[in-house]
Amino acid sequence: MSWFKRDKPSDQKLPNLSDADRRVRTEGLWQKCESCRQIVWKKELEANWNVCAKCGAHSRLDAVSRLKLLLDGGEYETFDHDLRSSDPLGFVDNKPYRERLVSMEKATHLPEALIAAAGRIEGRPVEICAHEPRFIGGSLGSVVGEKIARSIERAIARRRPLVIVSASGGARMQEGAISLMQMAKIAAGLMRLDEAKLPFISVLTDPTTGGVTASYAMLGDLNIAEPGALIGFAGPRVIEQTIRQKLPEGFQRSEFLLKHGMLDAVVPRLELKPFISQALGFFMG
Ligand SMILES: [Zn+2]
């Protein structure tokens, strides 16, 4: 399984674009919705937090926008921001992991695939983590794991609820078993959070797969997902080959998982904040 999802070769063509000048002027201003295939104005899409106004499809949202959307006034304090992977295995695939980290940082302006922060949701203080899906697929490596573990520690020390917004391809293969160990470390931390009687709300967004689904993303007191999000462990092709059966329509999408008891709710992006606030009110009294 590749953590680097390349976009399919674009077949996007703007209407009536015969002259090159016009193509240059309009390039980047418009985007084709992956779901309804209609052309949408990029600015309008961004203003709507990447939810298509025409069909309601939720495209991926970066970690900074996610925190701005959920936290009061878009304000938050970050923690452990400068933690960086030490490349413990000296891993090289088609390029050295170290180089990959540098290029990812350049592309996303973030040193790792997760922001750990604190802020308020409708007045309630929370510790919150958001995966950055563009940083090596939002994958769970040693730094992401450590940032989450420290967020849990802070939540316990400050008697605050924890929210994690997942958008991740799973464990980071470039850190091998050290990535996998993060699953156990975080799960153990969440048990301590539970013993401290503090809630953990897991928000699963597109995509939440592999080791992230297999650990904390499914360990929330509430597991809520955005509409249409891909959520699963292994990919559908691997499952079909293993069980030698055709998978049903919509398999591994939020709505299917809700119907089969794997999720507590499917909540549209723009309603997430009031929903989480209400849940926190219920949990925290
Ligand atoms: Zn659309």
- For 115-126, the pLDDT digits (tens) are 999 999 999 999
- CA 242 to ligand 1 centroid distance, Å: 34
- CA 17 to ligand 1 centroid distance, Å: 22
Q: CA 8, CA 113: separation in Å to the nearest integer?
A: 23
- CA 38 to ligand 1 centroid distance, Å: 6
What pLDDT is attached to residue 21?
54
Burial pattern 245-271, b for ≥16 Cβ within 10 A else e, equals eeeeeeebbbebbbeeebbbebbebee
What pLDDT is attached to residue 27?
66
**Which residues are CB-neighbours of 236 under 8 A, at least 6 positions away?**
247, 251, 252
Model pTM greater than 0.85? yes
What pLDDT is attached to residue 13?
47
pLDDT of residue 148 exceeding 80: yes
- For 175-227, the pLDDT digits (tens) are 999 999 999 999 999 999 999 999 999 999 999 999 999 999 999 999 999 99
Partner residues linked to 120 by β-bridges: 125
- CA 170 to ligand 1 centroid distance, Å: 27
What pLDDT is attached to residue 186?
98
Q: CA 117, CA 126: separation in Å to the nearest integer?
A: 9
What pLDDT is attached to residue 2?
47
- CA 259 to ligand 1 centroid distance, Å: 24
Res. 28 pLDDT band, cuts 50 70 90: confident
- CA 213 to ligand 1 centroid distance, Å: 27
Res. 236 pLDDT band, cuts 50 70 90: confident
Res. 285 pLDDT band, cuts 50 70 90: confident
- CA 13 to ligand 1 centroid distance, Å: 16
What pLDDT is attached to residue 1?
43
What pLDDT is attached to residue 18?
55
DSSP readout, 109-133? Answer: S-SSSEEEEEEEETTEEEEEEEE-T
- For 157-178, the pLDDT digits (tens) are 999 999 999 999 999 999 999 9
Token code pair at residue 78: 């970050």
- CA 91 to ligand 1 centroid distance, Å: 39
Among the residue ranges 8-17, 127-136, 169-178, the one predicted with the least confidence is 8-17
Lookup result for tokens 């709505």: 255
Q: What percent of the chain has pLDDT over 70?
A: 91
- CA 52 to ligand 1 centroid distance, Å: 5
Res. 235 pLDDT band, cuts 50 70 90: confident
Query: Mean pLDDT, to the nearest integer, of 223-238?
Result: 94
- CA 46 to ligand 1 centroid distance, Å: 13
- CA 26 to ligand 1 centroid distance, Å: 19
- CA 50 to ligand 1 centroid distance, Å: 10
- CA 243 to ligand 1 centroid distance, Å: 34
Res. 22 pLDDT band, cuts 50 70 90: low
- For 89-109, the pLDDT digits (tens) are 999 999 999 999 999 999 999
More confident site: 22 or 254 = 254
- For 38-92, the pLDDT digits (tens) are 999 999 999 999 999 999 999 999 999 999 999 999 999 999 999 999 999 999 9
- CA 54 to ligand 1 centroid distance, Å: 5
- CA 102 to ligand 1 centroid distance, Å: 34
Q: CA 19, CA 37: separation in Å to the nearest integer?
A: 23
**CB-based neighbours (< 5 A) of ligand 1, an ion:** 33, 35-36, 52, 54-55, 57
